[in-house]
């Protein structure tokens, strides 16, 4: 939260090596004044997606989903800082202007679909990747109906799902890349580098002998940490591959990147949380998030797992 959209150099100067939650600093227009441990739009919209999937029994009602996103925007605007991402805002504005639900997401190629897709990875198994990508598309198309965005979201959802089934390491990466390959043929065309190939390159970078500070510089400079799907999704896979058994370290590293750090951190947390579970996180950090946000996701997770078991 405190480092989102700040340059990495500013993050390093202001925070040093991040190893704990920080308040939103005054120099951050998005998160100034937010208390340490406060969640951002990535988590809040993931909850919206989860509820939409549960309420729709595995499908997504676009009208209700759009209404939920608008309601969230009103709350976010009232408290200041957080705003809808560019693709989601464009889609909702087009919807308000009278465009049909099936058309408004056809320019949405940013990472908003991937940042909130983890619930699909909980609800859908990877034994049928086509079915999983179907659910990814259903959860994404309203705002991000492009092959690029769906490809990135499919990779994240498949990796989360694979981890729940005990698939890890290179095999999990391969499942994610296969899902990304399926996803790129969905939705409208949007020019951009292939997500599956950039994930593989990012994971390769993570397994080199580069020292950690230099590694994060390489992630920023070579992979990228912007809102483009083909940057932030591979960046998250790089951090997950670097620290596969330590989600807290990986998420702190994501915060240290700057750029769209809350989205990279959200995806890293999903990838590794599904692998090692909440018990691998510091107890005080988990309790801080619960207290600051009145946040208890377990009932939603249970409902998503019921869908998965069916």
- In CATH, what number is assigned to the domain containing residue 93? 1.10.4080.10
In a domain, 1, yes or no: no
Q: Please give the pLDDT value at position 73.
A: 85
Which residue range(s) make up the domain with 72?
A: 8-309
Q: Please give the pLDDT value at position 292.
A: 97
In a domain, 2, yes or no: no
Q: Please give the pLDDT value at position 284.
A: 97
- 216 touches 256 (CB < 8 A): yes
Q: Please give the pLDDT value at position 78.
A: 77
Q: Which mean pLDDT values do the consecutive 10-residue runs of the chain (310 residues) have?
A: 96 95 94 94 95 94 93 81 80 92 93 97 97 97 97 98 96 98 96 97 90 89 97 98 96 97 97 94 97 95 96
- 93 touches 99 (CB < 8 A): no
In a domain, 219, yes or no: yes
In a domain, 3, yes or no: no
- 260 touches 4 (CB < 8 A): yes
Q: Please give the pLDDT value at position 208.
A: 85
In a domain, 257, yes or no: yes
Number of domains composing the chain: 1
Q: Please give the pLDDT value at position 81.
A: 64
In a domain, 153, yes or no: yes
In a domain, 65, yes or no: yes
- 149 touches 67 (CB < 8 A): no
What region, left, alpha or beta, does residue 259 occupy, with left being phi > 0 and alpha being psi -120 to 50 degrees?
Answer: left
Q: Please give the pLDDT value at position 85.
A: 83
- How far, in Å, CA of 148 to CA of 136, rounded? 12
């Amino acid at each position: 939260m405190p480092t989102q959209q700040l340059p990495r150099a500013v993050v390093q100067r202001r925070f040093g090596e991040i190893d704990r939650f920080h308040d939103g600093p005054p120099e951050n227009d998005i998160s100034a004044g937010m208390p340490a441990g406060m969640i951002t739009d990535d988590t809040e919209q993931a909850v919206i997606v989860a509820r939409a999937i549960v309420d729709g029994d595995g499908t997504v009602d676009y009208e209700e989903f759009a209404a939920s996103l608008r309601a969230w925007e009103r709350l976010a605007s009232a408290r200041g800082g957080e705003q809808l991402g560019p693709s989601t805002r464009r889609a909702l504005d087009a919807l308000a202007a009278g465009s049909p639900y099936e058309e408004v997401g056809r320019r949405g190629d940013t990472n908003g679909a991937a940042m909130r897709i983890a619930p699909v990875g909980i609800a859908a198994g990877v034994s049928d990747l086509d079915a999983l990508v179907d659910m990814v598309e259903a959860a994404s198309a309203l705002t991000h109906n492009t092959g690029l965005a769906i490809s990135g979201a499919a990779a994240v959802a498949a990796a989360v799902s694979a981890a729940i089934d005990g698939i890890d390491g290179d095999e999990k990466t391969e499942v994610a890349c296969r899902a990304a390959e399926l996803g790129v043929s969905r939705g409208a065309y949007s020019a951009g580098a292939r997500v599956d190939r950039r994930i593989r390159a990012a994971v390769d970078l993570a397994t080199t002998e580069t020292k950690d500070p230099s590694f994060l510089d390489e992630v920023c400079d070579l992979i990228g940490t912007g809102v483009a799907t083909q940057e932030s999704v591979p960046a998250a896979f790089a951090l997950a591959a670097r620290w596969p058994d330590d989600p807290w370290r990986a998420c702190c590293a994501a915060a240290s990147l700057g750029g769209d750090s809350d989205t990279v951190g959200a995806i890293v947390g999903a990838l590794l949380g599904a692998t090692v579970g909440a018990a691998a996180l510091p107890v005080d950090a988990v309790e801080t998030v619960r207290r600051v946000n009145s946040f208890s996701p377990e009932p939603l997770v249970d409902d998503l797992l019921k869908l998965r078991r069916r």
